[in-house]
Amino acid sequence: MREGISADPGPFDHVYGAHMTEFVTSGDGTRIAYDLEGEGPAVILVAGAFQFRAFDPGSRALASALAARGLTVVNYDRRGRGESGGEPPFTLDAEIDAISALMDAAGGRAALFGTSSGGAISLAAAAAGLPVTAVAVWEVPLGPAGNPHAAQFLEGLRERIRAGDKDATVEYFMKDMPPEWLAGAKASPGWPMMTGPSAALEPDSESLAVAASAPRAQLWGRIGVPVLALVGSETLDFFGPAADEIVAAIPGARRVEVPGKDHRWDLDALVDVLAEFLLASAR
């Protein structure tokens, strides 16, 4: 099994690729750092919690593999992470604005591949009317629509961010995950890299609160591009039903299962499915 998301229990290594970092300026003047690889239809990788280029070898490997299949891949650091700028408070609207700036840099339109809570951000960006050509998401951690838990969770996270307690912020964000994930993270040398940009977790939580704020068909039903909801074959119990809710809410959306376990994907299997979907959507 190859690593998919290094945000969950490991590896928590500090990995930089061989790419030259490029920058784009978001609407509010914030500088966003990204790598650009390959030639062909563009896809932007929208990271989930704790992911950024120096801490996410799985997405770097995915970017190179997709580029080899004939895609232009934008792999960027979200606001407040890695080499990108930004100051708290971080918001979902600002995340969408950064994606818009990256789309401009990629030629004016692009597909989105959102990982975990990055999937909720990607769906919000498509629903906001950005020139998105397709959306693929990996295991979006949706709770039930209309449940107040997501909004309450967001407020609890904001309280810890405002208090400036970075460890407590990350511990709170991970409290509903399997306990061994948090224990493994705290015992790893990568814990400081998770806690350092902890304030940038706010848009992840906000995107999930928005996704729970109304019926999903009301939120996403007007997304008029191909949508693919991906889940691992040995995933946690709630990811499958969450993918089903995405498919039910968006006309023409599909759910596909690929080899994967514990919120991670098998690289070769994911690339086969994802490249075919993205290239077909660009025709």
Q: Give residue-wise pLDDT tens across range 112-164.
A: 999 999 999 999 999 999 999 999 999 999 988 888 999 999 999 999 999 99
- Domains assigned to the chain: 22-142+216-281 (3.40.50.1820)
Tokens describing residue 277: 């979907």
Q: pLDDT at position 283, please?
A: 87
**Secondary structure of residue 37 in the 3-state scheme:** strand
pLDDT tens per residue across span 210-245 = 999 999 999 999 999 999 999 999 999 999 999 999
The Cα 242–Cα 247 span in angstroms is 9
Tokens describing residue 205: 């939580």
Walk across the sheet containing 31-37 and list its strands: 22-25, 31-37, 72-76, 42-46, 110-115, 132-138, 227-234, 254-261, 264-265
Reported pTM: 0.93
Specify the pairing of strand 42-46 against strand 72-76.
parallel
